[in-house]
Structure 1
Amino acid sequence: MKTTHRLPTALLAAACVLAMSACAGTSSATGDEGQGQGAADEVRVGYFANVTHAAALVAVGGGHFEKELGDTALKTEIFNAGPAELEALNAGAIDVAFIGPNPAINGFVKSQGQALKIVAGAASGGAQLVVRDGIDTPADLAGTKIASPQLGNTQDVALRVWLDDQGYTTDLKGGGDLAVTPTENAQTLQLFQNGELDGGWLPEPWASRLVLDAGAHVLIDEKELWPGGQFVTTNVIVRADFLAEHPETVEALLRGELAAIEALQADPVGSAKLVNDLIAEAAGKPLAQEVLDRAFANIEFTVNPLAGTLQTVIDHGVQAGTTQDADLTGIYDLRLLNKVLADNGQETVSAAGLGEE
């Protein structure tokens, strides 16, 4: 089986995005046995070169996807943040994406539930608000400039909601009591080091890089804001038409993801090295060992999508002004995941009434 890796290419025009979303709506994303067309000749998977996407990195680099896909060719594409990845999915440029919950919700809502399904989780935790010296309380943030990875991505929404809860006014154009400035993660590090940013609400390993490489400190660890410290950082979504046509291929990917997460849990040192090697391949430089260790300590790798938290996620998106309020019923199709879990003698997971399980 051939595996091809590539960095993002220019996406199709907006008209094509809308057209593909409409086309996705013509297919039923049931994944029922007998409804598909057999294994796909090729599957295109998107993910980030981030520790929060370690399940994807290990599944690719450790050969777990390759083993399970058999004759299906795997192509991969690396993204910086979820909204761009969602655009690629809607345009038909990728079939499967490891992505945060907010872009997944946006894609589901804007397509009236027709474009995609969440088929699994991948990670919980691993996001922090890290800031410069002199910012020790929320009150110290007035007049500052704080980064997020991209407008409408999961950390961007978390930042805006938390600031709103603290009594700050912000807007989507960087105005208000302080400026929220969506910025590519690598640029955030450089701008922070240059004194042009005061901090950022960032996923791992970037939160750890600002702390250990640039002298930032943690103002808020997002897990402190969630019951039990669990919140979805990364889900696995699939184009609805691809799921309907090739459930066999999606199931193979889920088997590969589960194997990768088991490897992350059984051999954290070896898995962390593999993740770091792949980050270096994508970014041109590996993470320092202390950054890698800190980042891994902040994340729980799990195929459970924590569906019971999703209503809170959409409520946050509405509060932040980046998501429309909507009924999320049907966003999950966890049947293939639960089949894989049952086949491996593991406990199945719940869709919390928001889809098939």
Structure 2
Amino acid sequence: MMLAGCSAGAQAEPERDASTSPAEELRLGYFANVTHAPALVGLEEGLFEDALGDTELTTQVFNAGPAAVEALSAGAIDATYIGPNPSINTFIQSAGQSAHIVAGAATGGAALVVREGIDSPEDLEGTTLATPQLGNTQDVALRSWLADEGYETDVQGGGDVHITPTENAQTLTLFQQGQIDGAWLPEPWVSRLIEDAGAHVLVDEADLWEDGAFPTTVLLVRAEFLAEHPETVEALLEGHLASVQWIEEHPDEAPTAINAVIEAETGKPLADAVITRALEHVTFSADPVAAAFQTLVENGLEAGTQKDGSIEGLFDLRLLNGLLEADGADPVSAAGLGEE
């Protein structure tokens, strides 16, 4: 696990207007998922609060990206850990005015898991599969993959394979009851269906990407908040980097820290076998893997869950790269899709 990946040239931090100042409050969104571990560890270990100083931190938990984007767009939160596809959607729909990705958080940790008797793509015709929410990152991945396999789907749940966006905990229950045949999910839900409900992996999303690296979670900030409070966003990024580094340096303690927040939010901790398996399939990094985002746009268009449009300007990595360079780490690349 690394703090940064792709190398770039010397980076300039954003110019700060004299009128900007630290925010009195930062409202942060996240999911109670292993793929959001930098958020969970940052909260459990107090790393965000240490970095934010006098800025009050409040949080809100979401099940999937579209709901988090709705809250961000409405001004109910200022930043959120989120999947890449909802980030793309809000950027395109707002003509680049809504939000910017300021860092990566996680890669990997998503898969299609299915019931016994489904052993190949050919076995999926007529089945019902779940995703966390219509238009979220796993929903787009499933629809795109099914299209590549020759299946037709639609956003109403029709087609050759029926896709039913469902809250993750309910997906587990429905699978255990035999009401759905599988689901494309992020961790820890992949491992929960395997360990708790006897599912098996039909498609590991890592196998669909070169070198197995695909973005699962990024840190998205409301554009207005970034412009008005760059000092606060920089402090958030300090906490984020500290959390990614803590996970790397404390592999034996990380499951307990992550589980503590999951238990607080869901009422039940993950079983040891579940969280161990989940963490084996996720890598935590501040690199957002920006080079993959144009492919994600194409997947969303193919899936019929997003509008066509440009994502040039989606990334603003200047604050992040300033912090990385100050620590002697390599800066990360926006792949021509924004500021570095």
Verify: 1:96 aligned to 2:70, yes or no: no
- Corresponding residue for residue 52 of structure 1: 35
- Corresponding residue for residue 212 of structure 1: 195
Alpha-carbon offset, residue 60 of structure 1: 1.1
Letter in 2 for 1:176: G
Contact 1:31 1:244 (C-alpha < 8 Å) held by counterparts: no
Identify the match of residue 298 of structure 1 among 277, 281, 306. Answer: 281
Letter in 1 for 2:244: I
Verify: 1:177 aligned to 2:160, yes or no: yes
- Corresponding residue for residue 318 of structure 1: 301
Identify the match of residue 254 of structure 1 among 218, 225, 237. Answer: 237
Alpha-carbon offset, residue 35 of structure 1: 5.2
Q: In 2, distance between residues paired with 1:129 and 1:216?
A: 10
Q: What's the CA shift string for 1:18-63, capped at 9, x where partnerless? A: xxxxxxxxxxxx9422355211000000000000000001111111
Alpha-carbon offset, residue 271 of structure 1: 1.5
| C-alpha RMSD of matched pairs (Å) | 0.9
State the percentage of identical aligned residues.
Answer: 58
Letter in 2 for 1:138: P
Verify: 1:192 aligned to 2:178, yes or no: no
Q: In 2, distance between residues paired with 1:61 and 1:342?
A: 27
Q: Secondary structure at the match of 1:322?
A: coil
Q: Secondary structure at the match of 1:268?
A: coil
Q: What's the CA shift string for 1:88-146, capped at 9, x where partnerless? A: 00000000010000000000001000010110000000000000000000000011000
- Corresponding residue for residue 85 of structure 1: 68
Q: What's the CA shift string for 1:257-290, capped at 9, x where partnerless? A: 0000001111122111111011011000000000
Letter in 2 for 1:301: F
Q: What's the CA shift string for 1:280-306, capped at 9, x where partnerless? A: 110000000000000000000000000
Q: What's the CA shift string for 1:222-258, capped at 9, x where partnerless? A: 0000001000000111110100000000000001000
Runs of 4+ in 1 over 6 A off after TM superposition: none
Verify: 1:133 aligned to 2:116, yes or no: yes
Which residues of structure 1 form unaligned runs of 5+?
A: 1-29
* TM-score normalised by structure 2 residue count: 0.95
Q: Secondary structure at the match of 1:341?
A: helix
Verify: 1:41 aligned to 2:3, yes or no: no
Q: Secondary structure at the match of 1:272?
A: helix
Which residues of structure 2 form unaligned runs of 5+?
A: 1-12
Letter in 2 for 1:194: Q
Identify the match of residue 257 of structure 2 among 274, 277, 284. Answer: 274
Contact 1:36 1:247 (C-alpha < 8 Å) held by counterparts: no
Q: Secondary structure at the match of 1:130?
A: strand
Q: In 2, distance between residues paired with 1:43 and 1:294?
A: 33
Identify the match of residue 243 of structure 1 among 213, 216, 226. Answer: 226
Verify: 1:337 aligned to 2:320, yes or no: yes
* TM-score normalised by structure 1 residue count: 0.91
Contact 2:44 2:260 (C-alpha < 8 Å) held by counterparts: no
Identify the match of residue 151 of structure 2 among 143, 168, 172. Answer: 168
- Corresponding residue for residue 7 of structure 2: none
Q: Secondary structure at the match of 2:22?
A: coil
Q: Taking structure 1 as reference, are residues 172 and 36 closer, same or farther at Cα in structure 2, changes over 3 Å only?
A: farther
Q: In 2, distance between residues paired with 1:36 and 1:69?
A: 19
